[in-house]
């Protein structure tokens, strides 16, 4: 970056050239008084044109807005793959070395646009697990906690979960793998599956016992 504009203090500088960047056509290089000064996105300053007069403070404000818009677009792109928690977005932006104050502003804007909501995230996370990879409350609670969801929201998201029904459906869907086994081996393997999925002992015991009885009746 040219240093000339920094040395002008409160003097006004003239935009003498706007040059579209080759690698990113949505950004332009800004030349002040004939020298390159900084790059900026079109979105951050759509009004910027050759001949504009800029003070040093205005330049600082433009660069601040550019940093914010860049971070916001990174967050939007991150959200385009799936719903995210606030913690996930914060971690992603931190990895990109986005300053904390900018992250706070990005999250505020995302909340205002209803693009991030930890309560909705928790609900969707549980629904997705129930449909595609059943987990017990203990396992789901741990997953949500790791995503930065607070205890109150976790409790609400899991409050209506029928853990016994879920454990039964989970075990039933895998039962063909264990048909033909002796009772103890059957119980050990199926119990291990449900335990790894975070279901409590008393539910695991009841479900495995019920399924063994079903198998005996069917055979």
Give 63-121 pLDDT, tens digit per residue.
999 999 999 999 999 999 999 999 999 999 999 999 999 999 999 999 999 999 999 99
Length of the chain as a residue count = 219
Spatial distance between the Cα atoms of 13 and 31, rounded to a whole number of angstroms: 10
Give 131: exposed, middle or buried? Use CB within 10 Å, 0-12, 13-18, 19+.
exposed
Low-confidence ranges of the chain (pLDDT < 50): 1-5, 7-8
pLDDT, position 9: 52
- DSSP letter at 138 equals H
186, two tokens: 């059957």
- Which CATH fold topology does 118-158 show? Arc Repressor Mutant, subunit A (1.10.10)
Three-class SS state of 164: helix
Decide if domain 4-112 falls under CATH 1.10.10.10.
Answer: yes
Could you tell me the pTM of the whole model?
0.78
Q: How many CB atoms lie within 10 A of CB 25?
A: 9
């Amino acid at each position: 970056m040219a240093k000339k504009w920094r040395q002008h203090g409160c003097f006004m500088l003239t935009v003498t050239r706007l040059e579209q960047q080759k690698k990113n056509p949505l950004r332009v290089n800004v030349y002040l008084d004939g020298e390159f000064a900084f790059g900026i996105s079109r979105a951050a300053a759509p009004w910027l044109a050759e001949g504009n007069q800029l003070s040093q403070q205005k330049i600082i404000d433009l660069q601040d807005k550019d940093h914010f818009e860049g971070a916001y677009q990174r967050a939007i792109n991150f959200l385009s793959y799936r719903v995210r928690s606030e913690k996930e977005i914060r971690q992603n932006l931190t990895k990109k070395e986005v300053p904390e104050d900018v992250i706070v502003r990005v999250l505020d804007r995302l909340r205002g646009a209803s693009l991030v909501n930890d309560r909705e995230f928790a609900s969707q996370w549980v629904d997705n697990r129930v449909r595609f990879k059943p987990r017990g409350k203990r396992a789901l609670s741990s997953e949500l906690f790791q995503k930065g969801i607070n205890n109150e929201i976790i409790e609400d998201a899991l409050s209506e979960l029928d853990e016994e029904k879920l454990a039964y459906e989970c075990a039933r869907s895998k039962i063909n793998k264990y048909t033909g086994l002796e009772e103890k081996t059957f119980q050990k393997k199926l119990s291990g599956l449900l335990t790894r999925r975070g279901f409590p002992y008393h539910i695991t015991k009841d479900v495995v016992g019920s399924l063994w009885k079903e198998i005996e009746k069917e055979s």
